[in-house]
Chain A
Amino acid sequence: MKFMSTTALAMLATFGLATAASAEIKLGASLSATGPAAFLGDPEAKTIEMLIDDLNAKGGINGEKIDLTLYDDGGDPNKARTFATRLIEDDEVVAIIGGTTTGTSMSILSVAEDEGIPFISLAGAIQIIDPVKDYVFKTPHTDRMACEKIFDNMKKNGITRIGMISGTDGFGASMEAQCKEVAGSYDIEIIADEIYGPSDADMTPQLTKIKNTEGVEAILNPGFGQGPAIVTRNASQLGIELPLYQSHGVASDSFIELVGPEASEGVRLPGTALLIADILPEDDIQRDVVMAYKTAYEDKYDQNVSTFGGYANDAFLLMVNAMEQAGGEDPDAIREALEATDGLVGTTGVYTMGPDNHLGLDLSAFRMLEIENGGWKSIN
């Protein structure tokens, strides 16, 4: 009996959290604002909160305010699934933004798909939208697109034989696999192939091996976090003159700070317009959207914008646009409207969705960038 009453008490405590009903549009989010993926989830959560406040201050969507329920899943897929269930069953949201990582997104999407609630993921992996699932969309470009953009640039520069050095973390592993799949169609041959662990502190042996491989014309480093910074520094220390291509995973100012301006000189990577907001030409289609987001975010949080916050910004723009089109809060109407998105300009690119395309970006979403004097230069 004692056990029973204690459990009943614990259960009652959760009942107490049930939210009051109102006429607002209910939007849900499950992001990894803490935990190992916090550097992605934190700017995403801040972005969504900022945008909702702005929108509600301006009067909301068609006069209705948005009521956001945001949970922090800490990067744990199991928790993310529980929160997705909670958002749909208990908080009765009409749509979900979230899934900071591939794992959390995959957990949320099966709940959203089962219950028929539109869901926009902020994670990179292609399997989130391939095969296409009715209610699942995403805003970040895929790793495959990053590979294609890089190979496209290599081809323009006459590079055909490359060495790869990849991180074994989730991002690096996924991108490595995608790059190997598409290399053939750009006539790129991978003649040296090395890996490193997420916490390795020195990649000199792997780089030396690549350097000593006959005929290597460039080095590609799919990876995330500090691994690519170490690779870049080691390459500079070893005096490797070959062009070094990094991934969109390190497309941020903090990468240059981490590596130092000298060692990072000449590194090329695919990034978004957000990264080069200050040097975008006046007539660039994304300029207004990018500047609006960058200014608002940096004013409010006194922190540099990141590509990841940009993904959340785009997801929010897509969702608001769809809700306006759908003229209400019917999940199916919102889904239809999301799928019909045509030419919506975001910070990551211009989105045009369709029944067989729930990402809606093409290669033009990426800008090929080169680091010059500790800053970014567009080399499209």
Chain B
Amino acid sequence: MTAHSKWIQIAIVAALVAVLPFFFPSGYYYRVGALIFVNALSVIGLVILIGYAGQISLGHAGFAGIGAYSCALAPEYLGLHPALAAVLGAVISAGVAALIGRPILKLKGYYLAVATLGFGILVSLVLTNERQLTGGPDGMAVPELGLRDLLRDMGWRLSGGEFWYAICGIVLVVGVWIALNLAASPTGRAMRALHGSEVAARTVGIDVARVKLQAFMISAVYASVAGSLLALQNRFITPDVAGFMHSIEMVSMAVLGGVGSILGAMLGAAILTLLPQVLTVFAEYEQLVLGAIMISVMIFLPRGLLPSIAAKLKGRDE
């Protein structure tokens, strides 16, 4: 990837975030926008893990759960500011990823998928069952970030929707920037070499275990930050955030948009976040439509929406 194309991609994302609000007819669209950004952020983490390094995780909602519950638990029990709690959540997620990544990243293919799946379920079980701490399945409240009041005092009046749209948009742009930089760095190249062939990568002197672990930890931090943002804007969190379905949703978004491409991942996140909103009229058929879309994309556009379409438009044969 050239430096040129990197800045173009960042510029596209930043421009989208900045320009879209001019087309919003009501405050509700800020909420949907913020949700898309949060989902896109966690999907970018998966692009690094799946698309760059070629590893799979079906338990990333576990890290989203850690990030989300850090924002609820740390302020309550440690008296930490919610923003610091989000940072703490990211640190814990990275730590947990390092701890479990070492043994389970030795696994390949299905075995890795099942091991990560188990991790996700474990986190969700802990959050559900430690109810004296987490409030159990009923969930718990998350304190107000406080930044909006600060801005109001400075004369900047933002509605809750606008504020979170801006925050999530900024974090997303930063996330895209980091991910694209990573792709162009020696570590990113090592990840992609590893994706191509583990044996070849090892032969040219890449520390395969280390690079895999790095990808796993980085993607865990992305998921954790996304979880924190979700918790802070919803101001209430239940163990659903760490649930199996959420993990699957993340992977679906990545695969739908194109798992090797940052912009594709964002497109996948946008489509799968918008679809349930568009399909409210026939809510019963929502799952059916989602399934049909996933299957068609897998059959007709195996590299995901964006990369496949881009290749077609450039006239290259798949």
Contacts and interface: CB of A to CB of B under 8 A. Distances in A.
Interface in B274-293: 274, 276-278, 280-281, 283-284
Contacts of A103: 137-139, 236, 238, 240
A81 B310 CA distance: 35
A13 B26 CA distance: 15
A48 to B, nearest CB: 15
Given A102-B138, A106-B139, A2 B270 contact: no
B271 A10 contact: yes
A139 to B, nearest CB: 18
A78 B230 contact: yes
Interface SS of A by simple majority: helix
Contacts of A106: 138-139, 141, 236
B47 to A, nearest CB: 14
A79 B309 CA distance: 30
Nearest to A124: B138
Given A85-B161, A107-B236, A17 B139 contact: no
A11 B20 contact: yes
Contact of B136 (A10, A85, A110, A174): A174
Given A125-B138, A173-B137, A4 B12 contact: yes
A62 interface: no
Contact of B28 (A3, A6, A85): A85
A86 interface: yes
A90 B26 contact: yes
Contact residue range for chain B?
Answer: 35 or more
Contact of A79 (B26, B263, B271, B276): B276
A74 B241 CA distance: 14
A117 to B, nearest CB: 13
A57 B161 CA distance: 38
Contacts of B29: 11, 14, 90
Interface in A87-136: 88-90, 102-103, 106-107, 110, 114, 125, 127
Contacts of A4: 12, 15-16
Interface of A: 1-4, 6-8, 10-11, 13-15, 17-18, 33-34, 71-72, 74, 76-79, 81-83, 85-86, 88-90, 102-103, 106-107, 110, 114, 125, 127, 168-170, 173-174, 177
19 contacts: A3-B306, A4-B12, A11-B20, A14-B277, A72-B283, A77-B237, A77-B238, A78-B35, A82-B277, A90-B29, A103-B137, A110-B234, A110-B236, A125-B138, A127-B138, A168-B129, A170-B136, A173-B131, A173-B137
Top 6 A-B pairs, shortest CB-CB distance: A170-B137, A89-B27, A89-B28, A90-B28, A72-B283, A103-B238
